[in-house]
Every structure is written in C-alpha cells, then in structure tokens.
Amino acid sequence: MSDLYAVMGNPINHSKSPQIHSAFAEQTGQDLIYSAILVPLEKFKDEADSFFRNGRGLNVTVPFKEDAWQYADTYSSRALRAGAVNTLIKKENGLIHADNTDGVGLVRDITRNHLCSIDGKRVLVLGAGGAVRGILEPLLEEKPTEVVVANRTVSKAEALAQDFANIGKISGCGFDKIDGQFDLVINGTSASLGGELPPIPDTAVHLETVCYDMMYGAGLTVFNQWAQSLNVAATIDGLGMLVEQAAESFSIWRGISPDSKAVIANIRASLNPS
C-alpha cells in the first residue's frame, strides 16, 4: 500500500505541491500518493487528526502554519525559532515532528540554482510576517554582513530583528528609513499578489544587486519589473524556493534528496506554455 502525504491549506486548488512531490516520487522510485486537501478555517486539528490515522507526512500552507506549529509534539530548531511550520511527519513512536523548510528552500535557490553568494553581502528583507520569520535563520547562517528588515509597522520589524539578533547582525526599520544600497533585496511581502510594489526607494539597489521575490507567476512580478527597470544584476522569483522547500520536506519524509532542477524547469514550462 502506498504511503500517504498531502498539503493542507485554504485556498488550495492553486497548489503545485502534488505535481512537485509526484515528480520527486517518480524520479526517486518512492511509492507514495500525495494529495491536496482544502481545510475549512478553524478545522485544522480535526483534519490533521483524520489524515494522520493513516498518513505519513503533511505540508502546510496558508493560513495554517501556526496551527501546525501548535499541533506538533516535537520541533526542529528552525521550526522552534520560526514559530510556524510547513512540514509535519509522523514518527515511529506516533509523535508528530514539525519543521520549517522555507528558509532552506530560499537559500538553496539563491546559492545553488542561481550561484549567488550571500556570504559578506548586505541584505534587505521587505516584510515582517510569517513568511519572513521562516527564512531569517537560514539566511543569517549564510553570514551576510548585515540584514535589514523593513516593514510598514516598524515595531514588528524591530521585534523580529531582536528575535534573531543572536545569530548575526540584523536590524528592523520602516520603509521610509531604508538607508544605503544593498547587494541582495528579498521581497517577503504579499504585495505582488495584489499587483502592488512595496514602498522601496530606487536608491536601495545598484547595478550588482540581486532582487528576489518570494512570490512567482507566469510573468514578471511587479517587484521584479521594478528591479529590472533599474538594471540590477539579476531578478529571481519564488518558484525555485517553492520546489526547494518541497525537496527538503521530501528528504525529511523519505530520507532521499531529489533532483529539484528538472522539476523547476517543468513547472516553469507549465506556467508559460508555448
């Protein structure tokens, strides 16, 4: 009987996770079935309980990442620090272990797939929500000279920076206080979903800057359109991060690391059919 895995969220019909994990399973010869489950709001615990009667592992997407954190019995260090999780696995003893693979996915996409070093770079992160919290530990572990978190609500950015200050040099500010130029700018806001641009000054980038939008779509996001208009060195969207965080989840569940590059290329092609 095939092992059961799934992603839970609301909404969920847009999810690429079943396509990604089915490709990983075929590539690595793993016998599993991966499905997408629409979970009614306030019903995460009930749905997770039902799934784990037979299921082995879950991915969790918005708006249930904090519910999943509360649901788990044990945590990885990065999940503990993030306060939100996207990966659950049922261990042999029946306990549910939680992890957050978003930050690993982001860093691998930047450093492995796009060959951009974070070490020694000045990094600006836009936004201070759960998506940003999940990426800060792996980002700081790459040893940038400085990370600045900018957000509309200044106190949220400052509190987030304080939570991670023991790993590296990090500070928080409002968008109006973004100062100087950055080597890497990461858009962790949801502005791209609404076709909006975060209020970032043009002076924050230079010709060698890499701009990364954690969102993705068939075309350029508004943030990456802005970045290209300023002739930055590279613009990257979040599709690679999506596949890489899935690859890390797959590795946690199955103990085998899939080849993500072919899967990224296939999904990119499906977004832009010729």
> What spatial distance separates the first Cα and last Cα of the chain, rounded to whole Å?
38
All structural domains of the chain, each given as residue ranges with its CATH number in brackets, are 3-100+240-271 (3.40.50.10860), 103-237 (3.40.50.720)
Q: Could you tell me the two tokens for 82?
A: 């993030």
Q: pLDDT per position in the chain (274 positions), as tens?
A: 899 999 999 999 989 999 999 999 999 999 999 999 999 999 999 999 999 999 999 999 989 998 999 999 999 999 998 888 999 999 999 999 999 999 999 999 999 999 999 999 999 999 998 889 999 999 999 999 999 999 999 999 999 999 999 999 999 999 999 999 999 999 999 887 788 999 999 999 999 999 999 999 888 999 999 999 999 999 999 999 999 999 999 999 999 999 999 999 999 998 876 5
Confidence (pLDDT) at 139: 97
Confidence (pLDDT) at 194: 83
Beta-strand pair 32-38/74-75: unpaired
Confidence (pLDDT) at 274: 58
Look up the pTM and report it.
Answer: 0.94
149 to 130, 167, 196: CA distances (angstroms):
13, 15, 19
- Residue identified by tokens 């080597």 is 183
Residue 201, H or E segment = none
Q: Could you tell me the two tokens for 109?
A: 């996409």
Confidence (pLDDT) at 129: 87
194 to 11, 106, 189, 222: CA distances (angstroms):
16, 22, 10, 9
Q: Could you tell me the two tokens for 171?
A: 């500070």
Active site residue ranges: 65
Q: Could you tell me the two tokens for 222?
A: 């508004």
Note whether 116 and 241 are within 8 A (CB).
no
Question: What residues contact 77, with CB distance under 8 A and at least 6 apart?
Answer: 137
Q: Directed axis angle between helix 17-28 and helix 260-271, to 10°? A: 140
Confidence (pLDDT) at 48: 98
Confidence (pLDDT) at 84: 86
